[in-house]
Structure formats: structure tokens, C-alpha cells
Amino acid sequence: MSQKQINEILNKIEMDQENSQFKAMGWKPIVSVHPNAKILIIGQAPGLKTQNIGSVFHDQSGDRLREWLGVTEAQFYDPALFAILPMDFYFPGKGKSGDLPPRKNFATKWHPLLLEQMPHIKLTILIGSYAQNYYLKNRCERNLTETVRNFKAYLPQYFTIVHPSPLNRRWMAKNPWYETDVLPILKQSVKAILESDSPLVEVSSQ
């Protein structure tokens, strides 16, 4: 595994006919992959602001996510620590009620190739229902809330969380267990991996 191989895959993504409209607009795929990355974050798809900036989580959502993870901005944007692999690497467009969902076949086509280049990933954080449904499949609970509440069932490989968007404040107010029961373990798990290369903290399945 090497950065050269990763760059070759990213170039193929840019040149893919299915992404030609984005290339014509001068857009680059929003993704961060490094052969030494330890923690992988998989979310939905970049918004228009993120696409134009060319980097993810430079907003209130990013501030909140870094708080949840217990890391600094420098740590978060160190590709040798955190890899970021959205379900689609391009802004999919606007729909009637917000951004369109990521394209259905994008992750199937490109994620496996990039995951092969990151053999040191110790934890994959699945943000939101698109990432969770894709990677957990029939292991998901009946809805996002229950899948996140059941996060211990997916450890040590996956950690399920909600999107850190300020729009989720109402959800968090209705589900106080998320801050008291989930986030402390997320923060401890990330700290263990980044500081000592130790495995995730042990948690009871009860």
C-alpha cells in the first residue's frame, strides 16, 4: 500500500464517466485516504459548501464532531490518523427537502479499492443511516435511533453515531442517553487508538 496507489485510484474516480459532470465543474472528490490511517469516518456525501471548500467538516458540525471524538483540528485533519470516506465523494445536488442522497452504486464501486489501501484501520465510525445501512446491512435496528443506541453490538469494528449537525439538537434533547452513554465511550475508544495503539476500551454488551 502506498500513497501513489491511492492517488491512482483517486485519478480513476475523477476520470470515471459517471463523474464527468463534476470534473467539468472543476470539482475534486471529497475524500481523505492514507495508508497509515487508524480511524475511518464514513458519512453521507459532501454538501455544496464542503464541495466548494474542498475539505469536510469546516463548520459547526466539524467542531461538534471533534468535540465528540475528543481530538484537535490538527489531529482530525492528519490523514495518517483519520481517513474520511463518504458514501459519495461529490455533492449529489439539491432535492425538495434538502441535499439528495449519495448515489446508490458509488460506495460499492470505489470503497473496496480504497479500503484495501488502509490496512491499519482499527475503528470505523459510521455517521448516519446511509453509512450504517450500507455497512451493517441487516444488522441495523429498525431505525437510526435504535442502531445508535445499540452501538455496542457493532464494536470493535464499527461505532454508530448520529450526524453532528446542529439540526440534530432536538434529537439529542429527546435522547439524552446519547451524551451520557455513547459519547464517553466514543471518546475513550478514539483516545486509546491514537495515544497507545491499544485496542478499543472494553464495554459491556448489557
- Please write the tens of the pLDDT for every residue from 7-33: 999 999 999 999 999 999 999 999 999
Close Cβ partners of 78 (under 8 Å, ≥ 6 residues apart): none
Chain centroid to Cα 36, Å, comes to 17
Cα(46)–Cα(102) distance, rounded to whole angstroms?
Answer: 9
Cα(125)–Cα(116) distance, rounded to whole angstroms?
Answer: 17
Query: pLDDT tens for residues 159-191?
Result: 999 999 998 999 999 999 999 999 999 999 999
Say whether pLDDT at 37 is over 50.
yes
If you average pLDDT over residues 92-109, what whole number do you get?
90
Among positive and negative, which fits the CA dihedral 196, 202, 145, 169? negative
Cα(65)–Cα(163) distance, rounded to whole angstroms?
Answer: 8
Q: Cell triple for residue 75?
A: 489531529
Cα(188)–Cα(145) distance, rounded to whole angstroms?
Answer: 21
Residues across the chain? 206
Going by C-alpha positions, the residue among 200, 86, 197 that lies closest to residue 152 is 200
Domains of the chain: 3-196 (3.40.470.10)
Query: pLDDT tens for residues 119-174?
Result: 999 999 999 999 999 999 999 999 999 999 999 999 999 999 999 999 899 999 99
- What is the percent of the chain where pLDDT is above 70? 95
Order of strands, edge to edge, in the sheet holding 82-84? 82-84, 39-42, 123-127, 158-161
Cα(172)–Cα(116) distance, rounded to whole angstroms?
Answer: 35
**At 58, phi and psi to the nearest 5?**
-95, 60
Confidence of residue 202 (pLDDT cuts 50, 70, 90): low
